[in-house]
Chain A
Amino acid sequence: MTSPTEATAGGKPALVEARGVGKFYGNVPALTDVSTAVRAGRVTCVLGDNGAGKSTLIKILSGVHRHDRGELLVDGAAVSFSGPREALDAGIATVHQDLAMVPLMPIWRNFFLGSELSRGRGPLRRLDVAAMRATTRAELLRMGIDLRDVDQPVGTLSGGERQSVAIARAVHLGARVLILDEPTAALGVRQAGVVLRYVARARELGLGVVFITHNPHHAYPVGDRFLLLSRGRSLGEYGREEIDRAELTRLMAGGSELDELAHELDRG
């Protein structure tokens, strides 16, 4: 286990750091005293069962909710986001489970949706289609995604490919910190593998990644640090060298539920 102060070790402050943050909904504590740090080129996995507080933590990091307790720091300076736009301006991009994509629209139109490139002025101001198509293609290739045809509707892509396009979009729009909300939850094993490869790729590109999942088998291959949550509290944050996959699984499942989970996992 590491103490919060270790997050700032090594000179440079973390991209984003939470120090003992907490959140109440009315009188109900949704999150209590959680600390973690996200560094460039590192993947922080947030693990926990349903209701563990994962969503609340993301919402605080992505500016949807404001924390009531503790401190949130970006590049070492305390912040309090008043909305997702502010978090985005600070370089914190969130890829939600529903991906914010329009299935019937072409990939390149989705890629630039809400941030379209234009050229010309006045009434002749128009979309710079050539540049958008070229950029989409280039950004996807940079993430290692080779889609033959950027004109095809997003709906024709597989679940993993769609996630990957969403990740590439966030990276292109200037994300330094990428929050991935259960990107592998709805996917089959092979598709989940595809997404994990892009998580690794984002890390190689120097982004700080927050990877939310309830599957330790998805977290372990790509994670550098593992934050375990249970019922709104931290069960501790571990470095990769401090914990192995079996221990991670055991901690996540916790006590009596372990047998059931082990049984479930053994079937494969």
Chain B
Amino acid sequence: MAGTTTSPAPAPAAGVPRAPLRVRVLRRPEVGALVAALAVFLFFSLATDAFLTPRGVASWLESAALFGIMAVAVSMLMIGGEFDLSTGVMVGSTGLLTGVLATHAGVNLWIAVLASLAAALAVGFLNGLMVTRTGLPSFIVTLGTFFILQGLNLALTKAVTGQVAVQGMTQVAGFWDARWLFGSSMAVGPAVLDVPILWWVLFTALCTWVLLRTRAGNWIFAVGGDAKSARQTGVPVVRTKIGLFMTTAFAGWLVGMLSLFGTTTVQASTGVGVEFVYIICAVVGGCLLTGGVGSALGGALGALIYGMAYQGIVFAGWDNNWLKAFLGAMLLAAVVVNTYVRRRAETAGAASTEHTDPADGGGPAEGGERG
């Protein structure tokens, strides 16, 4: 972390041996995604002219950024052993709520922005509460939330505005200030990068830090890896899971704001159908569907692969339906690799206990060891 003044690495660490670098690198869940991202990058760099130009880079980074923020949050949730289908539609809900409050209810824009944040966190809290209290699979609970929000988005937007989109945002007082925060761009060398890319990088860094260097991160891995063991050792399982659902809801709000202020409008159908893209990004990034394994960086890399493929296919002039086929293939490859890696991690121990030879018989050899 930048800005830390405490000196790291106290003396006792010196004596603890570490595995060789090669082993430690291969142990990281995002290694596969990193290799795949490099391959996709090289492929489109060589296959198309536009991919490596400053404008080209800015375009695929921008595509990756909006998906990446959500993919990182979904990765954290998946590591914690849960699933959220209401993530995509949350982007629409928060954008619509902010827009409708500001344009039709005359609410101060910043208050509208905060109100939609509060609403998103409340939905995340309820998702988490229902999942932890009922013990139902989060797939079902959030499928319900997904449909409720999807219905509300359309019905309420139509009822209030008479249309299926929010219009007139640019006339709202304070819009340009908020756009500076959520929707501006800046020149970085020859490229013009949109501010969502910055949000994406910051959010990924923050989540990586939380996962690897805080108690909460330790608990996230534990509740996803083995909730019963986590409970036995005193980990607050319910609080951790609710926090994770609120994190994905927060990410949905952030992407909602970035979309609203980036494009000045939100459709009532925004975000429907993309929840699976987030999940694919997380799995491609090395998250295990059953929880306990994964990384925030992996989710970000999954989104990067998605962004590069999305724009690369456009640059190559191909039919963009190839994107879906490509995503599906990536998903399957990732699932197979992840499952193989986990099986190796979980059963290596069991395999070594099988070496014991029953022919040794009788009692343990330690019989005469007592002093």
Interface residues of A (CB under 8 A from B): 85, 96, 98-105, 109, 112-116, 118-120, 124-127, 129-131, 133-135, 137-138, 148-162, 187-193, 196-197, 200, 217-218, 220-222, 245, 265, 267-268
Please indicate the chain B residues that have their CB under 8 angstroms from the CB of A137 in the complex.
Answer: 15-17
Asked if B213 is at the interface of the complex by the 8 Å CB criterion, the answer is yes
Please indicate the chain B residues that have their CB under 8 angstroms from the CB of A161 in the complex.
Answer: 349
| CA of A98 to CA of B234, assembled, Å | 15
Please indicate the chain A residues that have their CB under 8 angstroms from the CB of B1 in the complex.
Answer: 124
Q: How far is the CB of B20 from chain A (nearest CB, A)?
A: 9
Query: Assuming the A-B contacts A150-B16, A152-B19, A156-B345, are A218 and B356 also in contact, with contact meaning beta carbons closer than 8 angstroms in the complex?
Result: no
Contact indicator A127/B213 (Cβ below 8 Å): yes
Set B228, B293, B358: member contacting A268, Cβ < 8 A:
B358
- The residue on B at minimum CB distance from A150 is B16
| CA of A174 to CA of B367, assembled, Å | 29
Contact indicator B350/A102 (Cβ below 8 Å): no
Asked if B233 is at the interface of the complex by the 8 Å CB criterion, the answer is yes
Set B226, B234, B342: member contacting A115, Cβ < 8 A:
B234
Set B10, B18, B348, B365: member contacting A151, Cβ < 8 A:
B18
Interfacial residues of chain B within 3-29, with CB under 8 A of chain A in the complex: 4, 6, 8-10, 12-13, 15-19, 24, 27
| CA of A245 to CA of B362, assembled, Å | 12
CB-based A-B contact count at 8 angstroms: 176
Contact indicator A200/B369 (Cβ below 8 Å): yes
Asked if B319 is at the interface of the complex by the 8 Å CB criterion, the answer is no
Please indicate the chain B residues that have their CB under 8 angstroms from the CB of A245 in the complex.
Answer: 363
Q: How far is the CB of B298 from chain A (nearest CB, A)?
A: 15
Contact indicator B235/A114 (Cβ below 8 Å): yes
Extra A-B contacts (11), CB below 8 Å, given A113-B233, A187-B353: A103-B346, A104-B293, A105-B292, A113-B235, A116-B215, A120-B4, A135-B12, A148-B19, A188-B354, A189-B360, A245-B363
Q: How far is the CB of A208 from chain B (nearest CB, A)?
A: 17
| CA of A98 to CA of B232, assembled, Å | 10
Set A124, A150, A200, A222: member contacting B4, Cβ < 8 A:
A124
Interfacial residues of chain B within 204-247, with CB under 8 A of chain A in the complex: 209, 213-215, 217-218, 221-222, 225-226, 228-230, 232-235
- The residue on A at minimum CB distance from B236 is A114
Contact indicator A130/B10 (Cβ below 8 Å): yes
Please indicate the chain A residues that have their CB under 8 angstroms from the CB of B288 in the complex.
Answer: 104
| CA of A104 to CA of B288, assembled, Å | 11
Contact indicator A159/B350 (Cβ below 8 Å): yes
Interface residues of B (CB under 8 A from A): 1, 4, 6, 8-10, 12-13, 15-19, 24, 27, 209, 213-215, 217-218, 221-222, 225-226, 228-230, 232-235, 288, 292-293, 342, 345-350, 352-367, 369-370
- The residue on B at minimum CB distance from A151 is B19
| CA of A203 to CA of B269, assembled, Å | 67
Closest 8 CB pairs of A and B: A268-B361, A188-B356, A217-B363, A114-B233, A130-B13, A114-B234, A102-B225, A134-B12
Set A149, A154, A191, A196: member contacting B19, Cβ < 8 A:
A149
Query: Assuming the A-B contacts A116-B215, A221-B363, are A149 and B349 also in contact, with contact meaning beta carbons closer than 8 angstroms in the complex?
Result: no
Q: How far is the CB of A240 from chain B (nearest CB, A)?
A: 9
Contact indicator A102/B226 (Cβ below 8 Å): yes
Contact indicator B364/A217 (Cβ below 8 Å): yes
| CA of A96 to CA of B221, assembled, Å | 21
Question: Would you list 15 pairs from A and B whose C-beta atoms are within 8 A, ordered by A residue?
Answer: A100-B232, A101-B229, A105-B221, A112-B218, A113-B230, A114-B222, A118-B215, A130-B13, A134-B16, A137-B17, A153-B346, A217-B364, A221-B363, A221-B366, A268-B360
Contact indicator B366/A200 (Cβ below 8 Å): yes
| CA of A59 to CA of B232, assembled, Å | 14
Please indicate the chain A residues that have their CB under 8 angstroms from the CB of B360 in the complex.
Answer: 189-190, 268
Please indicate the chain A residues that have their CB under 8 angstroms from the CB of B19 in the complex.
Answer: 148-149, 151-152
Contact indicator A105/B222 (Cβ below 8 Å): yes
Please indicate the chain B residues that have their CB under 8 angstroms from the CB of A159 in the complex.
Answer: 349-350, 353
Query: Assuming the A-B contacts A149-B18, A188-B356, A190-B357, are A102 and B9 also in contact, with contact meaning beta carbons closer than 8 angstroms in the complex?
Result: no
Query: Assuming the A-B contacts A113-B233, A125-B214, A188-B354, are A133 and B345 also in contact, with contact meaning beta carbons closer than 8 angstroms in the complex?
Result: no
Contact indicator A127/B214 (Cβ below 8 Å): yes
Q: How far is the CB of A191 from chain B (nearest CB, A)?
A: 5
Q: How far is the CB of B368 from chain A (nearest CB, A)?
A: 8
| CA of A127 to CA of B221, assembled, Å | 14
Contact indicator A220/B363 (Cβ below 8 Å): yes
Please indicate the chain A residues that have their CB under 8 angstroms from the CB of B8 in the complex.
Answer: 130
A104, A124, A157, A268 — which one has the most chain B CB atoms within 10 A of its CB? Answer: A104
